[in-house]
Amino acid sequence: MGIIEKMRLDGKKIFVTGGARGIGKSVATAFAEAGADIAIVDIDIAEAEKTAAEIKKNNGVETIAIKADVTNPDDVNNMIEIFLKKFNRLDVAFCNAGICINVPAEEMSFEQWSKVININLSGIFLTAQAAGKVMLKQGGGSIINTASMSAHIVNVPQPQCAYNASKAGVIQLTKSLAIEWATRNVRVNSLSPGYIATELVKGSPLLKPLISEWNAMAPLHRMGNPEELQSICVYLAGDTSSFTTGSDFIVDGAFTCF
């Protein structure tokens, strides 16, 4: 069997949080194209159902949509129960749900701070923990956590201290889980995208004016596309990455190199 065949995900069962749109949708599509069955997990169930139906139609794999608030342990546990009832096992978890609030630190309310930390860091912990419990019983699995280049640099000109702190926490959480579960065949890695041209970013009244400034600073003078994150996630989900755990993969067009 050649390397391309080995990288297929046929028969694997995967959930993607924040999967209804943006990076989550793009990566879920790639998983499906590689042969995996997919659960689109999102707080926006209408959009999740739309995405799941689109992926199923285009790829012929089994898909479901599950509504879940990743900051709510009961929601996360319920999501896992629904997933296992449908698919019987869990091979890959793409813990991707996240938000950003751009407010100067001196003006940021504790409510705003807590919202970002709860979704971006506690939400990753809860979904990775729930997935890990299943995978440890099964004897293995792969968890991919979405961090950010913002875990490595302080973005400018927009103020986003809570986001930066939360994503740095995701990387350290990823490494910690990888060490704890290494001998039990559960791999945990993180993905740190740079600026990605999702519809949400391109359509944001707050962020759209900043794109030209970001591009001027970027070595490639452009943002990345969601599709440019697909191949690394397919690799991490598959069996060819069996020696890869505890790593953070920066996909940022060299933005963090200076």
Give residue limits of the domains in the chain. Answer: 3-250
Cis peptide before 104 (omega within 30 of 0): no
* Residues near 104 by beta carbon (within 8 Å), at least 6 away in sequence: 159
pLDDT at 199: 84
pLDDT at 227: 97
* Residues near 95 by beta carbon (within 8 Å), at least 6 away in sequence: 17, 70, 123, 124, 127, 128, 131, 143, 144, 145, 146
Residue 253 in tokens: 């067009």
The pTM is what? 0.97
Residues tagged active-site:
148, 163, 167
Query: Class of the 3-250 domain?
Result: alpha beta
pLDDT at 201: 84
Per-residue pLDDT tens digits of the chain, which is 258 residues long: 788 888 999 999 999 999 999 999 999 999 999 999 999 999 999 999 999 999 999 999 999 999 999 999 999 999 999 999 999 999 999 999 999 999 999 999 999 999 999 999 999 999 999 999 999 999 999 999 999 999 999 999 999 999 999 999 999 999 999 999 999 999 999 999 999 999 878 878 888 889 999 999 999 999 999 999 999 999 999 999 999 999 999 999 999 998
pLDDT at 206: 80
pLDDT at 77: 98
